[in-house]
Structure formats: structure tokens, C-alpha cells
Amino acid sequence: MSLPTAAEQGRTGGKSARVPLGHIALAFLKLGTIAFGGPAAHISMMEDEFITRRGWLTRQEFLDRLGAANLIPGPSSTEMAIFIGLEKGGWPGLMVGGCCFIIPAAVMVSAIAAAYVRYGALPQVSGLLYAVKAVVIAVVVQAFWKLSRTAIKNRWLALIGTISAVLALLSLSNLLVLAISALLAAAPALYSQFRSPRQFAIPGLPVFDSARLLLAAAPAAAVPVSLARLLFTFLKIGSVLFGSGYVLLAFLRSDFVVRLHWLTEKQLLDSVAIGQVTPGPVFTTATFIGYIVAGFPGAVVATVGIFLPGFLLVAISGPLIPWIRRSRLASAMLDGVVVGSLALMGVVAWQLARAALFDSLTIAIAVISALLLFFTRINTAWLILAAAVIGILHH
């Protein structure tokens, strides 16, 4: 089956350019299989796949959904997959996009967990990841450059992005960085609002409801093992967790090591390590824990529990994005969130680069990958495959 070209699918994106569910499924199954490197890398690969290659979204549409994904709890890259599925395939696309991005990683993690339970140790993957991480850095840098050119619309937004990056480097929480970015971006509109308050209402809603709409995006001895408790625990975590895999580690330790006594410290760290080194969502750490605790049924229940809140939150917030864009005040705040999100992405790229590029070979792989990505249309999957082979041979 040949995939439609970007021109055939429509370069304008939006609801007028729906695509078959089969194409949505294939696209996200591929990404779920090759997307190493965490949320920043996943989003970078989605930018290349759905803007550059397939033309399913414009950069502004992509950035709007990235901003929304960062404002709601849950794994941001998975929520981006759900947002894109919703935009291109409606409610069925929402399910197909999210599930097909999650399933490859969940299957891999379940297989690794089965080996772990049997042999009591993790398989060796250091050689594979040694070179793949260098490609991931190049992918993130390329996407950051292209998205920034669309997101930074004026000098004020450029200054906000710089401030956000500094705050992130100072270890301020991601949510607080995004809130500050939104308020700074809205400052000019807020100043004008005192002079003409009605002009900033979202069409069809009173001023009070417009403000409420913006606030709605914010968050809100060993116990016997049971699938119901396992599901409830992961539903709770998926509903309130903002931030990276390191924040997830704190939540998991509090519940599964300290409160429930279902895991040892070593098992918890091994679980997080598997979530980090396998492709797809980092939150498949939950799949690993579920398998350790209750076998294959536990893996399924834990995966559903950690990801279900993201599906529900995207379903609720997705239709609101066009309304927000029609309000000058809300649109300004969304621009700020987008710039803040890119600043966080840039800081993550810098931190990853410091850890991943530590010798001449990894630096060479990163530089060559970046040049190929910037000046050719090579598919990211080929770069990852080549790097994996190099890493295995090197070790």
C-alpha cells in the first residue's frame, strides 16, 4: 500500500484534510517503534513526519497542540500523538493515533519485563544506545530550529523564550515556567484590556467564561496486590503528573515502594531505566511495573491506567484550541506557552547533549546526522538504524 504524498494529503492541515485511519495507524506504529530519546526527541520526529514529510499540519497548528499538551497532565509526546490523531481522523483517529504510538513500546517493555522476572536482570542495551543518543540530539536540534522560526513571531516572544530557558536552567518547575511565559506574552493584551475589556472575549462566551476556560487547562506493611488497586494508582498518577521521567520516578517511589511495598528500590530504578531506553513513551515504565507486580494482566492494567487520563484530557481540550485562537488575550497566552515549551525543549536538548556526546565518535555521529537532516530529506529511521549498528559494532 503506497502512502499518499504530502501534496495529496493537503499542506494546509486542519479538519478539511482528513486522512484514512490506516495511514494514521501506520505513521504512529512506525514512530512508536523508532522514537528513542524521550519526549523532546519524539516531538522532533513528529514535526519531521507530520509537517515536512506528510504535510498533515502547519507548523502553527503543530505548535498550538504542543502548547496544549504541555499544559495538561500526562506524557506530552503521547498527547501530541493523540492530538494529531484527533485532528486528522476525528474521534476514531484520537484512539488510533494514541494507541498505535503506545503499543510498540508496551509490547517491547512487556517482553523485557518477562525476561527480567525470569532471569532477575536487565538485558544489555548500552551498545545500542551509545550511538542512537547522538542521532537523537541531531533530531532535536533540527526540530527546535524549524519550530522556533514559526513560534518566535516578534522580539517580545524571543525575550520570553530566553527568560523561560534561564528559568528552566535554574530548575524551576516546568509548569511554573509555562505559566510565567503565558503571563509575559499576555502582558501587552492585558494592558489594553483595561481600556476595552470586551474585545478579548472568546466569541460566543462572556468575559468571565473566557478566563475560566484558560484556567481549566491547569491541573488540577505490604498491601495485597490487586488489579483494581493497580489501575487506580496509575489512573491517579496519570491524572496529576506534570514533567519528565524523573518526576514520574518520585511518584512511583511514593506509591509502589513506600506506601504499597510492591517494589524494591532496585526494581523501581530498573523499571525507569527500561522506560528511558526503549522507544516510544517513557511512561511505559508503568507497563514494566505492572508486569512485575501482576504478570501480563498487570502490564495491561497499568498501561491503560497511566495513559487513559491523557486520552480524556486531549478529548476535552482539543476542540477548545480554535476558540482560544479567536480570542486576542487567550491567543497571546497560548503564544507564550508555545515559546516556553520550545525553551524547555532546548534546555532538554542541551542537557541530553552534555550526557550523550562524550567522545569523538558520538560527536561525529551527531554532527553528520545534523548535516544530513538539515540539507537532505533522509528519513530519521535510517539514521537511527545506522547508529544502532555502529553502536553494537563499537561495543
Summarised one tens digit per residue, pLDDT across range 181-237 is 889 988 887 777 665 555 444 444 444 343 343 334 344 356 788 899 999 999 988
Cα 45 from Cα 264, distance rounded (Å): 35
Q: What percent of the chain has pLDDT over 70?
A: 81
Contacts of 105 (CB under 8 A, 6+ apart): 32, 278, 279, 280, 281, 284, 287
From residue 236, alpha-carbon distances to 220, 232, 299, 302, 309 in Å are: 12, 6, 16, 11, 9
Of 109, 112, 87, 72, which Cα lies nearest the Cα of 12?
Answer: 87
Summarised one tens digit per residue, pLDDT across range 129-145 is 677 778 878 877 887 88
Summarised one tens digit per residue, pLDDT across range 33-92 is 988 767 777 888 899 899 988 999 999 899 888 888 877 878 888 999 999 999 999 999
Question: Regarding predicted confidence, which is higher, 321 or 126?
Answer: 321
| Cβ atoms of residues 6 and 53 within 8 Å | yes
**Can you give the pLDDT at residue 217?**
39
**Can you give the pLDDT at residue 276?**
67
**Can you give the pLDDT at residue 8?**
42
Cα 27 from Cα 379, distance rounded (Å): 13
Cell of 311: 486520552
- Give residue 102's identity as a one-letter amino acid code: I
Summarised one tens digit per residue, pLDDT across range 312-371 is 989 988 887 777 777 778 778 878 887 887 887 788 778 778 877 888 998 999 999 989
Summarised one tens digit per residue, pLDDT across range 242-259 is 555 555 766 788 789 888
Q: Where are the domains of the chain?
A: 1-395
**Can you give the pLDDT at residue 250?**
65
Q: How much of the chain is in helix, strand and coil states, percent to nearest 5?
A: 80, 0, 20
pTM, full prediction: 0.66
**Can you give the pLDDT at residue 391?**
83
